[in-house]
Structure 1
Amino acid sequence: MDDSIFIQIASYRDVQLVPTLVDLIQKSTRPEMLRIVVCWQHARQETLAEFWRRGFSSWRFETPGDWQIHSMNHGGATLELIDVPHLKSQGVCWARNLIQQQYKGERYTLQLDSHHRFVLGWDRLLIDMLNSLRTESPNPILTTYLPPFDPENDPDARKTVPTIMRFYRFDEAGAVICRSGPVPNFEKCERPVPARFYSAHFAFADGHFVEEIPHDPSFFFHGEEISIAARAFTRGYDLYHPHRLVAWHEYKRKNCPKMWNDHTPEAKERGEIPQDWIALNDRANQRNRALLGMNVNIEAETELGKYDLGSVRTLAQYERYAGVSFAYRGVQRCLLDEEVPPLPTTSPVDSEADWKASLLRSHDVRVCVYLPSLDQNEPKSNALGIPQSTAAARATVCDKSDTALNSKTLDAEALAKQVRGNWLDFRLIFEGPLEKIPAYYVLELLDAEGKVLTRTKSQVPNLP
């Protein structure tokens, strides 16, 4: 079979799209084997002119369905742009699903975002790594949170160590959030590293992955990655992190318009969009919680169809493999210690009691205080809106029996970084006993001697 690669890129008003495409093609060993399909979600003033300036040519277009598709070439590679006005978009997963409908049987597939840079020969490197896994997995996937790059300081700011995905927290709706970290002892690694999670901004697999695990177009953003991880695992796919540096990803994206900046409740009121991003996100959270077996009654009626879990392995087997419990919002110590995950199995799982006993509850408490509501007798700082004599802040999370579960102190410098307009806003991320549930937090502002200047108490919303 040939080495053709179907490349999927969902792009929302991204100035890095064209530089990403050019670098992707120029760094390839065989650009003629690349078929790149982009869901080009753009505003009216964001035109095709930049593509012409960067050397794309042989332009043509057709309208086979609801969307016009522009086709062009660059350096031997083929590019197809699905032309979507940005206010018609329904989210990144909807865009990825639209792209996947254009799959034509390519040997491999690579899913990316639209803000990357690449090492020379990235395509050959990925193919060789994937094929090195055939003896231990019939369906391997290479995926990770790539190391960062900064367009304003490139290539000097690039990190040069391959990365893995580390568990960070559950978000408010129950989706798993990860962060990147270096591959341990990557110099000694001879093949890719077993992974627990899936990254939507970088995933390389056999082409049939597109057809077997298509993105659910009803998802919006959060929940996308953990849902694909569970669906892929339960269909017999195995997750790996590349042990060699392949590409870089832009994370900060300063001053770039996002969908939630455009698809606002105000835009809906003006009739510009049928649904705002909040409604789209709520729908996605409901589907994700139904997929992953979280206990909310209304979601028992959610129909998932072809976007449901597979039958090769169970959700419980994925949870034991990944070290997470969706129903209990729990994590195992081995996950927090970043141990290599166990070999995937179809064997029966351990008892529910043993499983619960192995878990810590993952907490994500948002401390959010309206600064003008603080004690008005204390003179305020003009810059931050907090008492002038404040030297530190201490946040303490307690359960309903008033037992302290976690406490964090911020010095004046750290505190200043958490002020957003009139709000002091930061998170406490921690783990604790499964049965200990946060009920409220206390925020205290302290002077240089540790004396409490002002104290406020807030309830913690019931988390899933």
Structure 2
Amino acid sequence: MGYSPVTISEVTASLRSFLGSLHASFSSHRSASKLEVVSLYTSLAAERLVPFDRDYAARIPARRGDDSIFLSLASYRDENCLPTLSEAYAKSANPHKLFVGLVQQNCEAGCKTGVLDGGKVEDAPPDDDCGKLFCEARPDLCGQVTTFRIDEAEALGPYFARYVGSKLWQGESWYMQIDSHMTFLQDWDLKSVEMLRAAPASKPVLTHYPPAHDDKKGLGGVGPRICDPVIADSAIEAQIVRLKGAPKYEKTVSAVPRFAPFVAAGYFVAHSSFLREVPFDPFLPYVFMGEEISMSARLWTAGYDMFSPSVAVTGHIYVRRHKPKFWETFGRVFNEREPGKDTATHNGVQMLVIQRIKHMLGYPEAAADLVQPRAILEYMDDYGVGEERPLEDYMAMVGIDVVRKSTTPGGNAWCHKGQPPPGFEQYKELYT
């Protein structure tokens, strides 16, 4: 039998079936404990998503050589989705080469606000259908946007939404991932690819935390760079590695993108072949913190090098007070007594799931014989670190010690100075 690339209709049918079955299971277990929630999820993911992923990998679309761009855009009840999508096309150098995978997580009935001042939660109108409104406004571009709709009650957190988004890729040359509350520099797409191509590596990833959307010197200015990790000290973050903000270390724009140690989820650009080598992990539902250090370690060990863009081509709306959060919906699904306040079930589930990331990174408390439930570590060989470079080398390079729960002061001085990391000294002359 000949090679038959997987189709979008097959992808959406498989993912819709999984989400429907999972939601039905959750609805019949509304008093489930955190262990039961995780067990329900992992058993269905193993039954449905692992075979789906393996079939997808065997039939993944061939990469096109036409310089087309795929933009993964995950939106959770975000009123900025339509402006973001519209401006992405309006500011694109080649709008007819820009294809979007929109994962739209909306409330359609019985909606609530986020937590307002005084801890109140009020009724709210249904969310605007971003994909539909864009198609009505730009019918000429509608066919380039694939919208996968997820009801708010079925939402599984930002990382899972990005997993879904990755499956909407249809062979475009370049892969980009952003958030749904962004602004853009003119020709942002072309400039992104040009910077990626200028990076001195065979497998580069262009990434950073974009400047704030209202930073007047942001767009078109020096690109901020993430250099410093911290060990989270919040009780609900399980001492996971977090990334600090991204300062502008240089005063002038560099001709060559500078090396960076980490991947940011809200803006990264890569050759789309990374989808074969570092597929998104379907066993990380409800995870927020931990997404970026997980992808950073997996990409680096698979042979990818991270670079900060020389020029900031996107801006980010960072402050979104009172907007609904996915963990608040989670509480309503599982009958928590104080919607909007009591997030005990979500926090407990997140603490269990995050063990998967901690195990991959070598945290001693997440050793295989200590993790409960054991299903948390299902299929780590499929979605773990790469085989091109040792994880230990990466952790040393970025100055993280997960045993002592510490980061090395000045450990990433090479990043602060805009120099290559240890072992890449041959590229120093590019930055003098």
Q: How does the TM-score come out when normalised to structure 2?
A: 0.69
Report the counterpart of residue 86 of structure 2 in structure 1. Answer: 22
User: How do 1:191-210 and structure 2 match up within 5 A?
Assistant: 191-210=256-275
- Higher-Rg structure is 1
1:7 aligns with 2:67: no
Residues 36, 73 of structure 1: CA spacing in aligned structure 2 closer, same or farther, 3 A cutoff? farther
Q: Deviations over 1:414-437 (max 9, x none)?
A: xxxxxxxxxxxxxxxxxxxxxxxx
Q: Displacement of 1:212 after TM fit?
A: 2.1
Contact 2:183–2:314, Cα closer than 8 Å, also in 1: yes
Amino acid in structure 1 at the alignment position of 2:269: F
1:241 aligns with 2:308: yes
Percent identical pairs in the alignment equals 26
Q: Displacement of 1:251 after TM fit?
A: 1.1
Q: What SS does the aligned partner of 1:227 have?
A: helix
1:253 aligns with 2:317: no
Any gaps of 5 or more consecutive residues in structure 2?
Answer: 1-64, 110-125, 425-432
Report the counterpart of residue 390 of structure 2 in structure 1. Answer: 314
In 2, Cα distance between the equivalents of 1:22 and 1:234?
Answer: 36
Cα RMSD after superposing both structures: 2.7
Q: How does the TM-score come out when normalised to structure 1?
A: 0.64
Any gaps of 5 or more consecutive residues in structure 1?
Answer: 59-71, 347-464
Amino acid in structure 2 at the alignment position of 1:289: K
Q: Deviations over 1:149-188 (max 9, x none)?
A: 25xxxx8695744211132521142322223333322415
Q: Displacement of 1:109 after TM fit?
A: 0.4
Report the counterpart of residue 185 of structure 1 in structure 2. Answer: 250
Amino acid in structure 2 at the alignment position of 1:179: K
Q: Displacement of 1:334 after TM fit?
A: 2.8
Q: What SS does the aligned partner of 2:323 have?
A: coil
1:84 aligns with 2:163: no
Contact 2:253–2:311, Cα closer than 8 Å, also in 1: no
Contact 2:397–2:412, Cα closer than 8 Å, also in 1: no
Stretch of structure 1 that moved more, 212-221 or 189-198:
212-221
Report the counterpart of residue 353 of structure 2 in structure 1. Answer: 284
Report the counterpart of residue 124 of structure 1 in structure 2. Answer: 190
Report the counterpart of residue 169 of structure 1 in structure 2. Answer: 230
Q: Deviations over 1:57-115 (max 9, x none)?
A: 39xxxxxxxxxxxxx85557711111100110111111111111222221100011111
User: Which structure has the higher relative contact order (CA within 8 Å, separation 6+)?
Assistant: 2
In 2, Cα distance between the equivalents of 1:183 and 1:77?
Answer: 38
Identify, as 1 or 2, the structure richer in helix. 2
Contact 1:236–1:312, Cα closer than 8 Å, also in 2: yes
1:329 aligns with 2:427: no
User: How do 1:13-412 and structure 2 match up within 5 A?
Assistant: 13-45=77-109, 46=126, 56-57=135-136, 73=139, 75=141, 78-133=144-199, 136-150=200-214, 160-172=221-233, 173-187=238-252, 189-219=254-284, 220-264=287-331, 267-269=333-335, 276-296=345-365, 297=367, 298-299=370-371, 302-303=377-378, 304-335=380-411, 337=413, 338-340=416-418, 342-343=420-421, 345=423
In 2, Cα distance between the equivalents of 1:184 and 1:158?
Answer: 13
Q: Displacement of 1:254 after TM fit?
A: 1.7
Residues 341, 178 of structure 1: CA spacing in aligned structure 2 closer, same or farther, 3 A cutoff? farther
Residues 192, 225 of structure 1: CA spacing in aligned structure 2 closer, same or farther, 3 A cutoff? same
Q: Deviations over 1:107-146 (max 9, x none)?
A: 100011111000000011011111112xx31100000011
Identify, as 1 or 2, the structure richer in strand. 1
